[in-house]
Amino acid sequence: MNKIIFDENNRIFKLDTPGSSYMIKIADEEGFLLHMYYGKRLNSTITDDLCRLEQSPFIPSKNERERASFMDCAPFEYPCHGLGDYRDDAFSVLNKAGHTATSFSYRSHKIYSGKHALKGLPATFGTEDECETLEITGADEANGLEITLFYSVFYDTDAIVKSVRIENTGNADIKLTKVLSSCVDFYGDEYDTVFLHGSWARERIIDRKPLGYGKHYVSSLRGESSHQEHPFIGLLAKNADEDNGEVYGFNFVYSGNFIAQAEKSQFDSVRVLMGINPVDFCWNLKPGEEFYAPEVICVYSDKGIGGMTRSFHDLYRRHLIRSKYKDRKRPILINNWEATYFNFDTEKLISIAKRASALGIEMLVMDDGWFGHRNDDSSSLGDWYVNEEKLPGGLKYLVDEVNKLGLKFGIWMEPEMISPDSDLYRAHPDWAIQIPGRTPVRSRAQLVLDLSRDEVVEYVYGRISAVLKSANIEYLKWDMNRQLTDIGSFGLAPEAQGELFHRYVLGVYALQDRLTKDFPDLLLENCSGGGARFDPGMLYYSPQIWTSDDQDPVERMKIQQGTALIYPLSTMGAHVCDCPNHTTGRTTPFETRGYVALAGTFGYELDVTRIPETDQALIPYQIKMYHRFNDLVRTGDYYRIASFLENHEWDAWEVVSPDKSEALLTVINVSARVNMKARPIKLKGLDPEKMYTVTFVDIKAEPGKEQTLTLPGDALMYAGINPRIDNAGDFRGRLIYLRSENV
């Protein structure tokens, strides 16, 4: 059955996912493309009244006198600039005559099975048996432009993927000053918005607010998706909660400057826009050239926030992440950063590796400080050559010794950066992004390499490749510790400086695309000062991203809740930290740190040779816990049970296998409650007809020695269960594992 149809009589496109429909109408002789409907799946296309075409102010061919009134309220599928639509638009230009107006008139369309890649950009993928695509081509004849809107629907999830291509079919150069990727107009309902805000060490904190009149948006001009804001917007019905109500989610598959905006108009309609931030963007498009805008993922749920979340998770696991590791357990690694910072040598690293190996850890990752003459953060970025004063015998000797201990080896690099105190900068100062005549702004004593230049990209790739080939390196942590300023390139002409931000991101993508193709067995983990570039664009190249530099489990619960709102647990880099925590100074139980890190990739960030023996003794049990539950955590459906961010006392989340045969509930009591009975916890996502063996997990218990109960699924979901957490003290946790007896 086709998921995309065109009703020729009514000139309506209808796109269906398993649970939603999206409808577009070609209206009037001018070929206006109007948005009709996005919501719960419909069985027919008989919804013409949604466009209000027979109500005042009518369509222009029937009432030219009030064309302006039509333009200012019509639900345009791709709203253009300067011709009477005073709401924010998706597309504007600067032509040779100095004019900025644009328009879109329908010309043709095609529907086909499968989906094409996007040139130079990360994009979702699917076979002819997995998805279907609609291309609608329109024209802006006055500017000599062809505009193609792409829509793909996947057969297995409630997601619609949108993108745009602009082609210069005229005879004159034109400047693109705004090319957003998606617009959806909604009619007259009351909505809340959800954005994800934060800063370094507190990324992606959920912020829900009523949507009032005017524009409500988040954006980045930092050259990356950023710690501070996130390329996501949720639009929620007023009554929507975790499990009920209508929810729309929009996520941008891009790692640079963005804008995500909801605008409530004078007529109570709501327009949601998403795409590359137009500030400081100006792209020169010559005759015959094309510009591709990145994808936007649109998700609809009538099962609340949780339904939206699970659709995003399914789409990204099945149709965005490409790494061979996406369906595998990741090696349990220990990173030496918080163990040693810059103060390490071969002997110290081997001592950590020996103890880690004895405890069952599977990989040692060497972090910052192994190259150039780098003993602090003031030098050597760009000089990717081993410091043999620290590492006698070089990388190969160290890696071989670590491999002899039964551990894999990984390495940290920051390929996009350059230190003014480096051989590279002294040889090529023009390779740094900066503005002639201005003293460049430094952050962490470093500048940013100009990845809009092919020779810079080639140099960076050559150094990464040489390092990876020099020894048996099986993991790379790719970091980016500062944001972009002083936007100027010695490699771009004056009229092309407005292309630098986007060309920089394309350079990052080109590097990582080549890296993943040339080293297909490498486990790549992206990072940007923690979680400043945790976005779908990066997930296309790496199956996991470092979630935040704050590893304190109490703070991580809020950060991981916001991250898991969109992204699968398998993508979240999460480690057991040292205590007192290096960011917050808080001390928490070692067991609880493990429970929180289990909701991610799981690893360690501490000096395993120096932590208390009682904590060391728990590591083998935590590793056993990881191997026992990771398949379920990595592949299961995610349910939010309680939010510490909202209640300030406790947190709980659950993963349920797709066949509902097993589930894992994690409960953390952050604050001890005096003279209070235990709260019953109602589970979600189980089969009410099945009987479940409920195991109160004791990671140190012998097989068969844990406490168990047998309860029906309906009782577990509707009546609840006592988690049996010791209330003597803060930060106490519990894992509860359920296995169906009806498998």
Show which residues are catalytic. 479, 549
CA distance 257 to 617: 46
Alpha-carbon separation of residue 499 from 12, 69, 491 (angstroms): 37, 36, 11
Number of helical H runs and strand E runs in the chain: 14, 36
Cα–Cα–Cα angle for 435, 441, 442, nearest 5°? 130
SS3 543: coil
DSSP 300-320: EESBHHHHHHHHHHHHHHHHT
CA distance 68 to 78: 17
My answer on whether omega of the bond before 440 falls inside 30° of 0, hence cis, is: no
CA distance 190 to 264: 10
SS3 560: helix
CA distance 555 to 553: 5
Q: What are phi and psi of 520, to 5 degrees?
A: -65, -20
Indicate the Cα dihedral angle 422, 428, 430, 436, nearest 10°.
Answer: 60
Which pairs count as long-range contacts for 355-360, CB under 8 Å and 24+ apart, including other chains?
355/608, 355/609, 355/616, 356/407, 356/604, 356/608, 357/405, 357/406, 357/407, 359/608, 359/616, 359/619, 359/620, 359/623, 360/332, 360/619, 360/620, 360/623, 360/624
Which residue is it, tokens 């941008």?
252
642 Cβ contact list (under 8 Å, min separation 6): 650, 651, 652, 667, 681
Which residue is it, tokens 């904590």?
615
- For helices 500-518 and 454-469, the axis angle rounded to 10 degrees is 30
My answer on whether omega of the bond before 57 falls inside 30° of 0, hence cis, is: yes
What does DSSP assign to residue 679? P
CA distance 244 to 531: 30
Which residue is it, tokens 């002789």?
29
Class of residue 620 by CB neighbours under 10 A (exposed 0-12, middle 13-18, buried 19+): middle
Whether the CB-CB separation of 397 and 388 falls below 8 Å is answered with no
Whether the CB-CB separation of 737 and 697 falls below 8 Å is answered with yes
Name the residue among 598, 551, 556 with its Cα closest to residue 699.
598
Whether the CB-CB separation of 634 and 704 falls below 8 Å is answered with no
In the 3-class helix/strand/coil scheme, how is 615-656 assigned residue by residue?
HHHHHHHHHHHHHHHHHHHHHCEEEEEECHHHHCCEEEEEEE
Q: What are phi and psi of 190, to 5 degrees?
A: -90, 130
347 Cβ contact list (under 8 Å, min separation 6): none
Residue 339, H or E segment = helix 337-340
CA distance 723 to 681: 7
